[in-house]
A and B are shown apart, each in its own frame.
Chain A
């Protein structure tokens, strides 16, 4: 068998990469700060006794803009990657994506409703609009996932195949609804909608961050407790049952964690594809499929990849900014194709 990376080595490397990504994410941007100043300002933000000489600007940019943005990127990446692991486990297929259960489509419909509906009512108060958007996206994602889950149930059992098909149908339906809203929207609204659909970490603020951080912490603490059961589930549902796993409960938990996680991530940063698909895959290539390693490693790798994608989004066309969904798709889609071709040979 191909030599795997030892879990300890992997975690050390990922932690170092994570620190590097955070540092760069704090330092680089339209106004790039010297790396050492960034470090000092960062330490000051943690209330450590560092002299404040010439750091006012750095501290301001860091505290107000880049720190919330970096935390948002970490949380979104981590939660999307974890949801990817959960879905690939649930569908017992390494090519499954968190969007499969309809959560992304539902969130997009919720967001479209908020954006276009808000415009119809003559525009919402500036301060209120982003919260409504996040709330609608979150509720939409959760609602559609609940519906897909409900459709997959029969006689007290959940059919994963039916859920998959129901998810595909709901995603198509969601696309149609968003398309209809786009058709009805005026130019300015259409632009907002389009940009939201491409995802962005722009405009991160602490008060929009904490619900996501809460959800991310919940998912990150819950899923690893089920790592062994997830391993057993890969053998097959009845095999897992014979090993003593309460499979129905496990499936419920996986769907719930994904709906909650992806719902909160999409609500905070829009639709960002491929992280949930590619990260677990990448980690599996390095360290094998054992969920006891896969889950925590995907959490770290998701955050790291997201921050690097965001750096690219910020820097490629600086001072303008690419929507991050474009970056992840440009990197993710070819990688996915590479996996498909490689798997065939």
Chain B
């Protein structure tokens, strides 16, 4: 389990994270919400070891993140960055197969997993095409398939960190992507996902961390976090919150 305690992070004189505690329990999707500059990506950076917190520590299964040998860590923790800058014409399946690098499961098993991951990310039809010929949203789904393949099938003990996986996707694929992530969590993986769309977060997350200027404004279930008062305080928008007529989760409507 990935566990952060008392995280503080400064950039220059600006404090971007202030005393954040966060646990990612198995089987749960934890959403991170907050306005631009609230510290969402910084939090993800600290959680995956790319940024070193000024104070506080991050542990994976009780062991400090930096103490893990690279490959062993990569078998348990996968990260999908907001944008990737791959400029070489790998084929779609080659990009996804890179997710299997930390494993020694052999070509046949890897090929099966690559196919399953591509199916899960709804990108199987892109097989055989050059990565460079894809649109932004298609690339995003290929990278999602890559990190899914890295932790496939998403058992307990694996953790997936996603930085705005839906930012470039059409409405249908926003849902297929988060459904794939949801299924991953249902098999036991722990997931942290940064989102901007409040309704997507309400529908797919078990818990939501609402960040405001580097501080935790609320960390609880979507029903408890996504209230008109909280959204007014953090985003400065006036909203109505109703229950989704079919599914019951909060539905946020801007006034």
A235-B86 contact, Cβ under 8 Å, with A241-B50, A244-B101: yes
Map CB proximity to A onto B128-139 as digits: 1 under 8 Å, 0 otherwise: 111001000000
Residues of A within 8 A of B86 (CB): 234-236
B108-146 contacts to A, CB under 8 A, are 128-130, 133
A288 pairs with B91, CB closer than 8 A: yes
A232 within 8 A of B: yes
Task: Pick the interface stretch among B15-23, B68-76, B164-172.
Answer: B68-76
Within the complex, the shortest CB–CB distance from A245 to chain B, in Å, comes to 6
A243 pairs with B74, CB closer than 8 A: yes
- The residue from B50, B71, B94 contacting A238, defined by CB atoms under 8 A apart: B50
What band does the interface of chain B fall in when counting residues whose beta carbon is under 8 Å from A? Answer: 20 to 34
B245 within 8 A of A: no
A235-263 contacts to B, CB under 8 A, are 235-236, 238-239, 241-246
Within the complex, the shortest CB–CB distance from A289 to chain B, in Å, comes to 4
Bound-state CA distance A187–B90 (Å) is: 52
What band does the interface of chain A fall in when counting residues whose beta carbon is under 8 Å from B? Answer: 20 to 34
Residue of A nearest to B95 (CB): A235
Bound-state CA distance A236–B99 (Å) is: 13
A1-58 contacts to B, CB under 8 A, are 1-2
Bound-state CA distance A245–B70 (Å) is: 6
A1 pairs with B79, CB closer than 8 A: no
B198 within 8 A of A: no
A284-B88 contact, Cβ under 8 Å, with A1-B129, A242-B79, A243-B101: yes
- The residue from A94, A231, A235 contacting B84, defined by CB atoms under 8 A apart: A235
Bound-state CA distance A47–B13 (Å) is: 75
- The residue from B48, B77, B90 contacting A290, defined by CB atoms under 8 A apart: B90
* Cβ contacts A to B, 26 pairs, < 8 Å: A1-B128, A1-B129, A1-B130, A2-B130, A92-B87, A94-B87, A231-B98, A231-B101, A232-B98, A234-B88, A235-B95, A236-B85, A236-B86, A238-B50, A239-B81, A241-B70, A242-B74, A242-B78, A242-B79, A243-B74, A244-B69, A244-B72, A244-B102, A284-B88, A288-B90, A289-B90
